[in-house]
Homo-oligomer: A and B are copies of this chain.
Amino acid sequence: MAARHEEIAEELRRAIDRGEYPVGGTLPTESDLAARYEVSRGTVRQAVAALTSEGRIGSRQGARRVVLGNRRSQSFAELRSFAQWARAMGRTATGRVIEQYRRPATAEDVERLLIPPGSDVLQVLRVRGLDGEPVLVERNAYPIWVAEAVERLPADCESVVQALYDDIGIIFAYGEHTIDAVAAGTQDAELLGIRRGGPLLRIRRTTTTHAGRPIEWSDDRYRQGSVSFAVANSIGSNPLARHVG
Most chain B beta-carbon neighbours within 10 Å: one of A71, A199, A245: A199
Partner of A229 from B53, B85, B180 at Cβ < 8 Å: B180
Provide the bound-state CA to CA distance between A227 and B241, in Å.
Answer: 10
Copies of this chain: 2
Q: Which residues of B sit under 8 angstroms from A53, Cβ to Cβ?
A: 53, 237, 239
- Is A87 located at the chain interface by the 8 A CB criterion? no
**A29-37, A75-83, A147-155: which one contacts chain B?**
A75-83
Q: Which residues of B sit under 8 angstroms from A233, Cβ to Cβ?
A: 76, 79, 174-177, 239
B173 with A241: CB separation less than 8 A: no
User: 1/0 per position for A107-138, CB-CB distance to B under 8 A?
Assistant: 00000001000000000000000100000000
- Is A106 located at the chain interface by the 8 A CB criterion? no
Q: Which residues of B sit under 8 angstroms from A60, Cβ to Cβ?
A: 173, 210
A91 with B244: CB separation less than 8 A: yes
Q: Which residues of B sit under 8 angstroms from A72, Cβ to Cβ?
A: 241
Mark out the residues of chain A between 225 and 245 whose CB falls within 8 Å of any chain B CB in the assembled complex. 225-245
- Is A63 located at the chain interface by the 8 A CB criterion? yes
B224 with A181: CB separation less than 8 A: yes
B79 with A241: CB separation less than 8 A: yes
A178 with B239: CB separation less than 8 A: no
Mark out the residues of chain A between 183 and 208 whose CB falls within 8 Å of any chain B CB in the assembled complex. 183-184, 195, 197-202, 208
Provide the bound-state CA to CA distance between A77 and B130, in Å.
Answer: 38
Expressed in whole angstroms, the minimum distance between the Cβ of A233 and any Cβ of chain B is 5
- Is A211 located at the chain interface by the 8 A CB criterion? yes
Expressed in whole angstroms, the minimum distance between the Cβ of A177 and any Cβ of chain B is 5
- Is A222 located at the chain interface by the 8 A CB criterion? yes
B177 with A231: CB separation less than 8 A: yes
Provide the bound-state CA to CA distance between A23 and B183, in Å.
Answer: 34
- Is A39 located at the chain interface by the 8 A CB criterion? no
- Residue of B at shortest CB range from A174? B234
Which A residues contact B (CB, under 8 angstroms)?
23-24, 53-55, 58, 60, 63, 66-69, 71-79, 85, 89, 91, 114, 130, 171, 173-184, 195, 197-202, 208, 210-213, 222, 224-245
Cβ-closest 10 pairs across A and B: A199-B199, A239-B239, A181-B201, A180-B228, A181-B181, A76-B238, A181-B199, A74-B241, A66-B212, A179-B229
